[in-house]
Structure 1
Amino acid sequence: MKLKNICLGIVCVAALSACADKMDYHEYTTYDKEYVFSDFGRTAGFVNNIYSYLDADLPGLTSLASACDEAEMALTYSSVLDYTNGNWSALNPKSQWGYYTAIREINYFLKEGTGLDFYDLRFQIDYQSQMNRYNRYPYEVRLLRAYYYFLLVRAYGDVPFTTEVLTEAEANSITRTPASEIFDFIVKECDLVAVKLPVKYSGLDNDAAGGADNPETGRVTRGVALALKARTLLYRASKLFNESEDKTLWKEAATATKAVIDYCNENEISLGAYTALWGTDNYKAAEVIFARRLGDMNSPEWYNFPIGMENANSGNCPTQTLVDAYEMQDGSTPDPSNPYEGRDPRMGMTIAVNGDKWPDANPYPLEIYYGGRNGLPVSYATPTGYYLKKYLDSSIDISDSDGTGGKRHSWITFRLGEFYLNYAEAVFKYLGSADATSGEFDMSAREAVNKIRKRTGVNMPEFPSGMSNADFWTRYKKERMVELAFEGHRFWDIRRWKEGGITSISRMGITLNANQTLTYTKTTKPLVWEDKMYFYPIPDSEIRKNGNLTQNAGW
C-alpha cells in the first residue's frame, strides 16, 4: 500500500505551473528533512509539490466524460472504454489510490515541517514576509488533505484513513474507515482552516504570497474551504451515502451551500459569460472560486479536434444523449430535419455540429454526415455525430506546418454556477418542492436554477412555478448535465444519485441525400453497467499487500 513512511530522501517531480502565481517548483533528490526544511525556498517547493496532485480532467484520452453518457471516445484503443465495455475490474482498477501519496506527504510535512523559526535566516530582508507565508502552510495542506480524502471517499466509499506518518508495516495493516467518519473529518477541517486562509492573495500585508504585482493566485483560499465543505455535504446527503434519505443531511448541505453563495456575493464572485469558463484566461472568470493552472499545452486540441484535420484525433465526442438535454429556447419540440436550430445557446458553445466552421484552422465547414470529410467511415471519425468545443481553444493550430504551439489551460475545480445547482438540489430535497422557501432558505430551488438559466449569453426561459416534483427533478438533472458538461461532474452525479447506471448512449447518424438535404437518424449503443460500479474496486494489488483491506461489493 502507498501509505508508507516517507523516507528521508524525498523526490518532488511533478511540476506545478507557475503561470502568474509564482508558485516556483523545486526538485530534491537526496536531501534529508533538515536540508529541505531549513530554507524558505525548499520548504515552499515541498508544499507546492503537494498541490501538484490536484485532480484535473481536461478532455484527453482518459477523460471521464467518455466513461458515462456525456461523450463517447472515438479512439478505440483508449483505456477509458474499459469503464463501459466490461473490462473494468480489481485487476484493471482505474486506480484513484495515488492520492495517498499526497496525503502521506502532507502528514509528513505536518509532523516534520511545521513550527520552525528559520532562525539562521532571520537577517534576510524578506524574513517576516516569508514567515507569514510559511505560517499559513499548515492550513493550506490540511485543506488539501481534506480534499484528497474527499476524492478517495467519492470513489471508494469507506477507505483507509490516517493523519499520521505510518511505517510500512502499519500502512499494510490499516483497515477501512467508514465514509461517514471521513466526511465528518473533512467538514471539521474545512471549518477549522477556513478562518486561517485569505479570501484572496492580492493585497496581503507583508506576505511572500501576496505580492502586489504577482500574487500567488494558485493557492487555496477561504472560499475553497467553504466550497469543499459544501460539496462534501452534498455528496453525504445523496443516496449513495444516505440510503435512508435523511433530510437533516440535506439541510446541512443546503446551509453550507448557501454559505458559499453568500461568500461569493460578498466577495465579487458572480456569474458571467458561459464561454469565459474555458480559454487562456478562464482562471480569471468572474465566477471561479478555485482553478488549477496546468500550463501551456495543446494536447486537449490534439486529442479532440475533428478527424480530417491534420493531427486531429476526434477524442471525446459528445453524445446525442447530451444533445437531448439541451432544451429549445421557445419550449417547442426540435425539428427533425433541422434538430439544432433554436436550442439552448450553451449547446453551440459546447458542441460542434455538422456545418459548423470550427475550429479556426479548419478551412471547411464540418462534414459529419456519412462519407463527409469529418464523418464515418473515416477511421476514428466521431461515432456520435458530434465533436467537442468546450475546454478546447479554437485558436490553436495543431498542424505541423503552421502550428501555434500550446496555450494556457486551467481546470476549474470550484465555481459559483455549480453551487447554485447544488443549492437547488439540497433545498429541493430538504423542503420538498421546487417553490418552497423557509426562514433559513429564502431562495427556492426553482429560483436557484433560474439564476443559471438567465446567466449572460444563455437567457433560457425560467423554470415555471408550480412544477411537480417529478418534473422539476427530471429537468434539474438535465440542467445540471448541460451547465456542467465536461467539467467532471456527470460521472459522479450518476453514482451519488444511485438511480440506476448508464446502460446506453444515443448517437446521431447523418445521411447526405441526393438533393443535398440531410436525414438525421438516432441510434442507441448499449453500455455495460452493473450496480457494483457505483463504487470503484479497491486495486487487487492493495488487497494482496494488506490482508485487513476488504473489497467493495461485487468486485
Structure 2
Amino acid sequence: MKSAKYNISFYAILMMLILLSTSCEDYLDKAPEADISEKDAFGNFFSFQGSIEELYNCVMDPDKGGAWNNYSFADENLNNKIYNFDIGNYWSNEGYFSGKSVNTTSNEGRDRRVYEYAWYAIRKANLALAKLEEEGLFEGTQEEKDLLKGQALFFRAWFHFELGRYWGGLPYITRVLEPTESLITEEFNRITFQEMAVEIAKDFRAAADLLPNHWDETEAGQATLGHNMDRVNKFFALGYLGKALLYGASPMMNEEATGSNSYNAELCQQAAQAFGELLKLADDTGIYGLQPWSSYTDIFYRFNHAKTGGIETIMNPTIYDRGRIRWSTVGATVPSSFGLNSGSNADVPTHNIVKNFAMANGLPIDDPESGYDPNDPWTNLEPRFSKFIIKDGDNFSNIRSADKYAELYTGGRHRSQINPPSVTGYYSRKFNGMDKSFTVSKAGNLAAYVPYLRMADVYLMYAEAVLFSNNGSPGASSSNYSMTAANAVNAVRNRAQLPDLTAKYTANKDVFFEEIVRERAVELFMEGARFCDLRRWNRNGDSRYLEKTAIDFDRDPDGKPININERVVIKRVAEKKHNWLPLPVSDTKIFEGFPQNPGW
C-alpha cells in the first residue's frame, strides 16, 4: 500500500520530471534555473500542484517533532523528567513550536516546527493565489483552478489558525510580501484572536465552496484514484471553519476581545452551522463517519504500515518518515525494558486523567449511582479504558516472559525496577498498540499518527457550539442539521458501547457542558486537544486541572490492588499569562504594533 507521503508527492514528482526533461546538452549550456520560467512552474495543473505540495509538507507531525516531543502540554501525561510547561516555562519549545529553518524537501519529521513553517506556508499560499489570477499564466479547466485555489485558501487559513491557537491574534496576511517593503504599518498590527478567527473563517468558507467532497470524484483526482484521502477537500474546510469559529467564540478569546468570560453566541451559531453542514454532508455521502467499534483502533494505529484513520479521520499529519514511529511514538511510550527506546524517557498517563473514564453503565465515577468502588478502581470501567490504558496485570507484550504482564504496583518491575519506570502506575497503548501479541517486529512495522481532525471531534464541537448558540440547550440543534447537542454527544458515547446520557446530565447547560468536557478528555485523550481546550475554556489555571497525579498501591495475593493512594506528582503552574505562548523576542522588536503577549 502506498503511504500518504508518496500519494501527496505524486504531482511534485511529475512536475520534477517535466522540468528535467530538457536534454543534457541544453542543461550544460546554461544554469538549470534559467530553464524554469513562471509558465513552467504555474502554467498547468500538474506543475502548479507541485508547488501546492509544499504546503502539505509544512504540516507538523505532532509526536515526531523531536526524538520524542510532548505535544499535550496539559494534565494528561507525565514523564520521569519534569515538563517545562508544567513549571510555567512556556519559553521552552518542547521540540514542537519553533527553532528550525524551513526545509520542505526534507523527509525528516524532526525538521518541522509550527512557527517558522506556518509563516513560510502562508507566503506560499499567497503566492499560489496571486499566480492563479495572473493574466495569461495558468491554463487549465475550471475544476483544476478551483482545486488549486481551494487548497491555497485552506492552507492560508489553516496555518494562521495553527499560529493563532498557540500565540493568539496575529496580522492576517493575504498577499505576497516583498522582501524590501516596510512591515511597520497598520497592516501588520496584531489583532485579537477573535478578529483573526473571523478572517480565517472567510478563507475556510471560500475553500469549502471550491473544493470537492473527495478528489476521487474529480477528473484531476483520477491520476491518484483510491489514494486521495489526504488531499484537502470540502470536509477539511468545513471542519476547520467550524473549529476556528468555535475557538473565536470560546470564553478565553471572547474575554480578550470583549471583556466577557463567556461564549460569543453569534459565533457559536455560525460554528454550529458549519459543523451541521459537514455532518449532513457526511450522512448524505458516506465518505466520512464514526469508525465502527470493531475497528476503532484503526483510527490511531495499524501494523504493517497500513494507513491509519479509517473512515473517521478527516485530517492526519503528513507522513515524512515511517521509521520515526518506531523511535518516537513507540520509543517514548512503551516500557524501557522492551528495548525499543533510548531509555531516557517514558511518557505515561496521569491518574487524574484516568478518572475521567466513566463506568460501563455510562455514569461518571463520582456519580453515587455509578457503582464505582475506589478500592477496586478499574473494574467495570467503560470499554475505552482498556483501548487506551495499560493497568497493572494486563498482558501487554510478547517480547520476553518478564515483560508479558504489566507490574505497575509499588515495587513492581515496570514501576520501580526498570529505568525509567512508569511514574504514574499506567502506560498508554492508544498510539502503540501494546497487547499480548506485541513484539519488536510488530513495533517496527507500526503506523501511528495523531489526528488533527476526526469525526468524533466534530460531533463534540457541534454539541458545544449548539449549546452556547442563541437559544442553545442540550435539546437544541443547528438550523441546518436535525441532531440535537445531546444526541451528538450520545453518538460518540454509543460508538464506545455506552448508553445515552441520563436525564440528569442533560437537564441544563451547566451539567451538560461538564459532560462535554469529560467526554472530550476521554475520547480525545492524547490527541493534543486538551491543552487548547482548557485554555479556550479559561480553565487552564482552574484548580481542578492543575494537579497531575499517580496511583500507588500494593497487590494482594489474588492480584487485586490494595493500600491505594492517589499522590500528587506535580502541580502545574498556569497563570493568566499562560493563555498564550510567548512570541519569539526578535519578532516583537520589529515595531510597537507587534507586541509580546501579556505577562511575557
Smaller-chain TM-score range? 0.7 to 0.9
C-alpha distance in 1, partners of 2:57/2:375? 48
Instruction: Give the equivalent residue in structure 1 for 2:546.
Output: 503
Over 3 Å counting, the alpha-carbon distance change for 1:83 and 1:132 in structure 2 is same
User: Which residue, out of 30, 44, 52, partners 1:47?
Assistant: 52
Partner of 1:256: 274
> For 1:40 and 1:445, how far apart are their aligned partners in 2?
42
Superposed, 1:191-230 pairs within 5 Å as: 191-205=205-219, 207=220, 209-211=221-223, 213-230=225-242
Measured after TM superposition, the shift of residue 195 of structure 1 is 2.3
Deviation per CA, 1:278-320: give whole Å up to 9, x if none.
Answer: 1235545122323334252323112211222113356321111
Distance 1:538 1:478 in 2: 31
SS in structure 2 of the partner of residue 368 of structure 1: coil
Matched, 1:111 2:136: no
- What is the SS of the residue equivalent to 1:376? helix
Where does residue 300 of structure 2 map in the other structure?
278
Question: Is the 2:194–2:254 Cα contact (8 Å) retained in structure 1?
Answer: no
For the Cα contact (< 8 Å) 2:308–2:447, is it kept in 1? Answer: no
Quote the residue 2:177 is aligned against.
Answer: 166
Structure 2: state its 5+ residue gaps.
Answer: 20-30, 99-113, 364-369
Equivalent AA in structure 2 for residue 88 of structure 1:
Y
Other-structure match for 2:588: 543
- Equivalents in 1 of 2:399, 2:480: separation in Å? 52
Partner Cα separation in structure 2 for residue 517 and residue 145 of structure 1: 54
Which digits, 9 at most, give the CA deviation of each residue in 1:333-353, with x for residues without a partner? Answer: 433343111111111101111
2:549 touches 2:567 (CA, 8 Å); kept in 1?
yes
Is 1:527 aligned to 2:572, yes or no?
A: yes
Q: 2:452 maps to which residue?
A: 413
Change (3 A) 1:362 1:56: farther
- With over 3 angstroms needed to count, the CA separation of the structure-2 counterparts of 1:117 and 1:346, relative to structure 1, is farther
- CA distance, structure 2, for counterparts of residue 410 and residue 33 of structure 1: 38
Partner of 1:391: 431
One-letter amino acid of the counterpart of residue 163, structure 2: L
Residue of structure 2 in register with 1:136 after alignment: 147
Distance 1:20 1:83 in 2: 36
Could you tell me whether the CA contact under 8 Å between 1:367 and 1:374 is conserved in 2? yes
Return the alpha-carbon distance in structure 1 between the equivalents of residues 488 and 438 of structure 2: 39
Contact 1:350-1:389 at 8 Å conserved across structures: yes
Give the conservation status (yes or no) of the 8 Å contact 1:305–1:359.
no
Matches within 5 A, 1:233-252: 233-243=245-255, 244=260, 245=262, 246-252=264-270
CA separation of 1:38/1:424 partners in 2, compared to 1, >3 Å: closer, same or farther?
Answer: closer
CA-CA distance at 1:482 after TM superposition:
0.5
Residues 88 and 302 of structure 1, relative CA distance in 2, 3 Å threshold: same
Equivalent-residue separation in structure 1 for 2:516 and 2:573 (angstroms): 26
Letter of the structure 1 residue corresponding to residue 346 of structure 2: G
Judging changes above 3 Å, is the alpha-carbon distance between structure 1 residues 40 and 462 closer, same or farther for their aligned structure 2 residues? closer
Q: Name the CA shift for 1:91/1:46 in 2 (closer, same or farther; >3 Å).
A: closer
1:289 is aligned to 314
Matches within 5 A, 1:327-476: 327-330=358-361, 331=363, 332-361=370-399, 363=401, 364-376=404-416, 378-394=418-434, 399=440, 405-430=444-469, 431-436=471-476, 442-455=482-495, 458-466=496-504, 467-476=507-516
SS in structure 2 of the partner of residue 340 of structure 1: coil
Matched residue type, 1:552:
N
Q: Bigger CA drift: 18-27 or 319-328?
A: 18-27
8 Å CA contact 1:264–1:416 kept in 2: the answer is no
1:249 deviates by 2.1
Q: How far apart in 1 are the matches of 2:237 and 2:406?
A: 44
Question: Residues 351 and 551 of structure 2 are in contact (CA less than 8 Å); yes or no, is this contact kept in structure 1?
Answer: yes
Which residue pairs with 2:101 in the alignment? Answer: none
**What CA distance in whole angstroms lies between the structure 1 residues aligned with 2:275 and 2:487?**
15
Match of 2:111 in 1: none
Aligned with residue 349 of structure 2, among 310, 318, 321: 318
Give the TM-score taking structure 1 as reference length.
Answer: 0.84
Distance 1:403 1:291 in 2: 22
> 1:70 aligned to 50, 69, 76, which one?
76
2:63 is matched with 58
Amino acid at match of 2:423: P
- Number of corresponding residues: 521
Contact in 2 for aligned 1:235/1:496 (Cα 8 Å): yes
In 1, Cα distance between the equivalents of 2:329 and 2:238? 30
Identity of aligned residues (%): 24
Whether contact under 8 Å (1:353, 1:366) holds in the other structure is yes
Q: What RMSD over aligned residues (CA atoms) do the two structures have, in Å?
A: 3.2
Q: Please report how far the alpha carbon of residue 476 of structure 1 lies from its aligned counterpart in structure 2 after TM superposition.
A: 1.9
Deviations 1:388-416 (A, max 9, x none): 111224489775xx576344334422222
User: In the alignment, does 2:561 pair up with 1:554?
Assistant: no
> Residue 552 of structure 1: SS of its match in structure 2?
coil
**C-alpha distance in structure 2 between counterparts of 1:463 and 1:137, whole Å:** 44
| Whole-angstrom distance in 1 between the partners of 2:298 and 2:478 | 34
With over 3 angstroms needed to count, the CA separation of the structure-2 counterparts of 1:64 and 1:410, relative to structure 1, is: closer
| Residue of structure 2 equivalent to 1:100 | 119
Structure 1 residue identity aligned to 2:152: V
Counterparts of 1:156 and 1:379, CA distance in 2: 36
Aligned AA (1:63): N
Q: Which has the higher helix share?
A: 2
CA distance in structure 2 between the aligned counterparts of 1:515 and 1:90, rounded to whole angstroms? 45
Deviation string for 1:218-264 (max 9, x for gaps)? Answer: 21001111111111111111111223333222222222221121111
Question: In the aligned structure 2, how far is the partner of 1:283 from the partner of 1:210?
Answer: 22
| Higher mean displacement: 537-546 or 257-266 | 537-546
Q: Provide closer, same or farther for how the CA distance between residues 195 and 252 of structure 1 changes in structure 2, counting only shifts above 3 A.
A: closer
The question of whether the paired residues in 1 share the 8 Å contact of 2:79 and 2:348 is answered with: yes
Contact 2:88 2:578 in 1 (8 A): no
- TM-score, structure 2 normalization: 0.78
Partner of 1:23: 10
**Which secondary structure does the structure 2 equivalent of 1:167 belong to?**
coil
Mark the runs of 5 or more structure 1 residues left unpaired by the alignment: 1-15, 123-127
Residue 20 of structure 1, CA deviation: 4.5
Residue 518 (structure 1) shift: 2.9
Does residue 202 of structure 2 align to residue 188 of structure 1?
yes
State the alpha-carbon separation in 1 of the partners of residues 351 and 182 from structure 2.
Answer: 46
Q: Cα 1:374–1:266, aligned 2, differ >3 Å: closer, same or farther? A: same
CA separation of 1:406/1:104 partners in 2, compared to 1, >3 Å: closer, same or farther? farther
Deviation per residue, 1:96-152 (Å, 9 max, x gap): 422111111222233346658779xx9xxxxx78x9546621221111111111111
| Whole-angstrom distance in 1 between the partners of 2:315 and 2:182 | 32
**C-alpha deviations, 1:155-182, integer Å up to 9, x for none?**
1222132222223454653321333332
Contact 2:476–2:484 under 8 Å retained in 1: yes
- Amino acid paired to 2:317: R
Does the 8 Å contact 2:132/2:145 carry over to 1?
Answer: no
State the partner residue of 2:104.
Answer: none
Query: Which residue is 1:153 aligned to?
Result: 164
